[in-house]
């Protein structure tokens, strides 16, 4: 007997959630390195072919976004710059740079968690991944584990603001002490 009040979860939804949890674990690696906690994993035939997490600060590279690193790793592993029949799972909606990369690399499907109202290029600010004038469009599923993804980012920025405020207060206290 099935419970009619229980939401039906499809195999695709379960798979999307599984890989998003994987991407969230990668986002933890970014956070541990002092980076904005975004993680990405590229999957083909239910196997990881590339993974990455934000490394822009550590690598002194503005292009070292989680998506970029996952795509680069996958292209090297597959030995092809065309990543046909792959799905990218990423905790935050890709920016324009990463969205362009997904189009050029021919990723089939994009699944992301949190929306990015400031720089999102998969539907929030613009929609490069489904733009009809481009030679490739991706299938997009948004909002997978969105609250978990958004909470991870929010808590990171909240903590970072608190740390910056505490550091500023310490500098001010040291200045006041020197003036005495």
Which residues are identified as catalytic?
Answer: 67
The answer to whether 33 and 11 are in contact (CB under 8 A) is no
C-alpha 85/C-alpha 94 separation (Å) is: 19
Phi and psi at residue 160, to the nearest 5°: -65, -40
| 87-92 and 47-53 beta bridge pairing | unpaired
CB distance 124 to 3 below 8 Å: no
111 with 141: CB under 8 angstroms? yes
């Amino acid at each position: 007997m099935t419970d009619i009040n229980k939401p039906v979860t499809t195999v695709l939804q379960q798979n999307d959630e599984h890989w998003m949890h994987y991407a969230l674990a990668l986002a933890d690696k970014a956070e541990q390195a002092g980076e904005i906690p975004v993680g990405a994993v590229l999957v083909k035939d239910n196997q990881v072919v590339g993974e990455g997490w934000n490394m822009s600060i550590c690598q002194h590279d503005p292009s070292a976004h989680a998506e970029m690193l996952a795509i680069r790793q996958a292209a090297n592993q597959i030995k092809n710059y065309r990543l046909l029949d792959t799905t990218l799972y990423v905790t935050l909606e890709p920016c324009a740079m990463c969205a362009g990369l997904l189009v050029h690399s021919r990723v089939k499907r994009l699944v992301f968690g949190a929306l990015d109202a400031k720089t999102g290029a998969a539907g929030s600010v613009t929609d490069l991944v489904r733009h009809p004038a481009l030679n490739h469009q991706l299938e997009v599923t948004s909002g997978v584990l969105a609250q978990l993804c958004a909470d991870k980012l929010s808590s990171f920025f909240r903590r970072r603001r608190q740390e910056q405020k505490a550091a500023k207060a310490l500098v001010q206290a040291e200045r006041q002490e020197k003036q005495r």
